[in-house]
Amino acid sequence: MKQELLSLHILTTARMLLKLGQRNFPKLGLGPGQMAQLLYILENPGSCQEDLSNELEVDRTTITKSLKKLEERGFVIRERDPKDQRYNRLMPTDKAREVQPHMLAAIQQHESLLHLGLSRDDLERTIAVLERIHVNLTEAMSSRS
């Protein structure tokens, strides 16, 4: 039965990825989720918390807690949006820019484990299937709102 449950395969694989990330990424002092958030901010300086939450599909409460830790550790600063004082713009610090190459190297090492034994065609098909599953789930979630 387990072989037929795609959701179980996805869930257990995601958990393994998180465990591996938690084991390998602490050298940088960041968890996998924090690294994803910090990379997004580095690539999108001036974005707001809502942008980050939507892009990473993480609820606002979790993002708020994580951003507070990144801010306390000196990786991110929040700046008031001059056009709309209700929003804070997320800006990476010099410290964030200094660790960026190390984060990318750690992610590349992590990714290389995922690619072991897979051909380029395997990877492309896997990504296409996962993207389709994501669309299906997104549509299901939005139709229930």
Where residue 107 falls among pLDDT bands split at 50, 70, 90?
confident
Residue 34 lies in a domain: yes
Residue 89 lies in a domain: yes
Mean pLDDT of the chain: 90
Residue 126 lies in a domain: no
CATH number at residue 38: 1.10.10.10
Residue 11 lies in a domain: no
Residue 29 lies in a domain: yes
Residue 109 lies in a domain: yes
Domain that holds residue 56: 25-117
Residue 70 near residue 90, CB atoms below 8 Å: no
User: Average pLDDT, stretch 72-89?
Assistant: 91
The structural domain count of the chain equals 1
Express each pLDDT in 44-61 by its tens digit.
999 999 999 999 999 999
pTM for the whole structure: 0.82
Residue 16 lies in a domain: no
Residue 102 lies in a domain: yes
